[in-house]
Amino acid sequence: MKTRTLALAAALMLSACGQSNDTKAQDGVFADNRVIPGDSMSMKASFAPVVRTAAPAVVNVSARGVQQVRDPFWGIPGQRQTGSVGSGVIVRDTGVVVTNYHVINGMQQIKVVLNDRREFDARVVLADERSDIAVLQLEGVNERLPTLNIDDREEQQIGDLVLAIGNPFGVGQTVTNGIISALNRTETGISDSGSFIQTDAAINPGNSGGALVDMDGDLIGINTAIFSRSGSSSGVGFAVPASAVKRVVDSAVGGATAVVRPWLGVKGEAVSADVARSLGLDRPQGLVVTEVWPGGPGARAGLSEGDVITAIDGAEINDQGGLNFRVGTREPNETVKVTVLRDGQARTLDARVQRLPGNADLKDATVIQSGGLSGAQVLGLNPALADSLGGDPFASGVIVGRVAGNSYASRGVGVRAGDIIMAVNDRPVTSAQQLANLPRGSQLLVERRGQRGVLVVR
Indicate if 132 belongs to the active site: yes
Nearest to 286 by CA among 351, 354, 342: 342
Indicate if 152 belongs to the active site: no
Q: CB of 60 within 8 A of CB of 116?
A: no
Select which of 128, 132, 151, 307 is catalytic: 132
What is the b/e burial string over 85-96, where b = at least 16 CB atoms within 10 angstroms of the residue's CB? bbbbbbbbeebb
Indicate if 192 belongs to the active site: no
DSSP collapsed to 3 states, the chain: CCCEEECCCCHHHHCCCCCCCCCCCECCECCCCCECCCCHHHHCCCCHHHHHHHHHHEEEEEEEEEEEEECCCCCCEEEEEEEEEEEEEEEECCCEEEEEHHHHCCCCEEEEECCCCCEEEEEEEEEECCCCEEEEEECCCCCCCCCCCECCCCCCCCCCEEEEEECHHHCCCEEEEEEEEEEEECCCCCCCCCCEEEECCCCCCCCCCCEEECCCCCEEEEEEEEECCCCCCCCCEEEEEHHHHHHHHHHHHCCCCCCCCCECCEEEEECCHHHHHHHCCCCCCCEEEEEECCCCHHHHHCCCCCCEEEEECCEECCCHHHHHHHHHCCCCCCEEEEEEEECCEEEEEEEECECCCCCCCHHHCEECCCCCCCCEEEEECCHHHHHHCCCCCCCCCEEEEEECCCCHHHHHHCCCCCCEEEEECCEECCCHHHHCCCCCCCEEEEEECCEEEEEECC
Bridge partners (DSSP) of residue 267 are 291
Select which of 102, 131, 191, 442 is catalytic: 102
Nearest to 92 by CA among 245, 282, 293: 245
Maximum pairwise Cα distance, the chain: 83
| Residues ≥6 apart with Cβ < 8 Å to 243 | 152, 154, 329
Select which of 87, 181, 193, 208 is catalytic: 208
Nearest to 384 by CA among 414, 364, 410, 370: 364
Catalytic residues: 102, 132, 208
